[in-house]
Amino acid sequence: MPQPAPPTERRNPRTAAIDTLASGDVLGLLLDEDARAVEAARAATGPLARAVDETHLRLGRGGRVHYFGAGASGRLAVLDATEITPTFGVARDLFTAHFAGGAAAITDSSVDREDAEPLGAADARALGDDDVAVGITASGSTRYVAGALRTARAAGALTVLVTCNPDAPLRDLADIVVVADTGPEALTGSTRLKAGTATKVLLNAFSTALMIKAGRTYGNLMVGLVATNAKLGERAVRLLAEATGEDAATCRAALAEADGRIPEALVRLLTGCPPEPARAALDAHPGVRAAVAALRGRAG
């Protein structure tokens, strides 16, 4: 007898006749299912918050976040990890995405190493007890992820499972299980759809919440971004203007004096302090708000 299909592999009665509909109705059904995926992700806030808090503690001790995945889930993990440095200005190795089969498999789906449990184990071998291993698998059964989580746990790392299957076979390998119960896909088994939407929402929320806790924002302003092009340079000026109420010319000058470092420019604009105290305060405190409070307290 075949094994029971996970929820993501079952047939969706709401879309059974999707191939008979006009394009607008097809799109409506697909987007309705995506909306269900976002609600499923929202329902996982409790365990996701625990994962954020536990990970934050480990990053404070010098740990790193490692994503492990294959297929659509793994590609979403690669996307999230890749965006962290330009968005928040952190070290490139703070988040690392390990994909079953390596770089070649990311763009070539014929290189399928999803079932390679020893490969997952090998990719997790360098993790230590301050690190965090996040396994991402819609079905909750990917063997590559199993190998990674088992090895990471043996090393003392925090293990987190992000899945769309409430009965995920790998849940016993994780300290924290984050489940977005998305149910059957609009197209049976195509987890790049609703499960993919939920996975992206969860990973975005996880990494962004971590960076907020680390002081990489000021309010809801993304002051840790790295301005690598003209568009981002102008965004940096706008961020400074929003945060301080200063005009664009003043913000542009402060940014130039800080060699493009937005947090330093912002601390100087908010406190009026010289460059060296601004840098020292940022080195000593987690984020702009804490650095500004320290400088103002010292001045008082």
The yes/no answer on whether domain 7-213 falls in CATH 3.40.50.10490 is yes
Output the pLDDT for position 166.
Answer: 96
For 76, how many CA atoms within 13 A lie in the half-sphere containing its CB? 27
Amino acid at 241: A
Output the pLDDT for position 16.
Answer: 95
- Is 114 catalytic? The answer is yes
Is residue 192 a contact partner of residue 37, using CB atoms and an 8 Å limit? no
Q: How confident is the model at residue 131 (pLDDT cuts 50, 70, 90)?
A: very high
Asked if the domains at 7-213 and 230-299 fall in one CATH topology, the answer is no
C-alpha to C-alpha distance for 45 and 206, rounded to whole angstroms = 10
How many other CB atoms sit within 10 Å of the CB of residue 126? Answer: 13
What is the pTM for the complete model shown?
Answer: 0.92
Q: Which of 9, 54, 83, 242 is catalytic?
A: 83
Mean pLDDT of 59-78: 96
| CATH classification for the domain delimited by 230-299, as one of 3.40.50.450, 3.90.120.10, 1.10.490.10, 1.10.8.1080 | 1.10.8.1080
C-alpha to C-alpha distance for 142 and 120, rounded to whole angstroms = 10
Please list, residue by residue across 285-294, b when 16 or more beta carbons sit within 10 angstroms of its beta carbon and e when fewer do: bebbbebbeb
The answer to whether residue 300 scores a pLDDT higher than 50 is no
Mean pLDDT of 179-206: 96
Q: Look at 70-84, 108-122, 140-154, 156-170 and tell me which has the smallest mean pLDDT.
A: 108-122
The answer to whether residue 74 scores a pLDDT higher than 90 is yes
Domain boundaries, the chain: 7-213, 230-299
The answer to whether residue 299 scores a pLDDT higher than 60 is no
- Is 39 catalytic? The answer is no
Q: How confident is the model at residue 115 (pLDDT cuts 50, 70, 90)?
A: confident
Is residue 300 a contact partner of residue 290, using CB atoms and an 8 Å limit? no
**What's the chain's average pLDDT?**
93
Q: Which of 9, 39, 54, 114 is catalytic?
A: 114
pLDDT higher at 226 or 68: 68
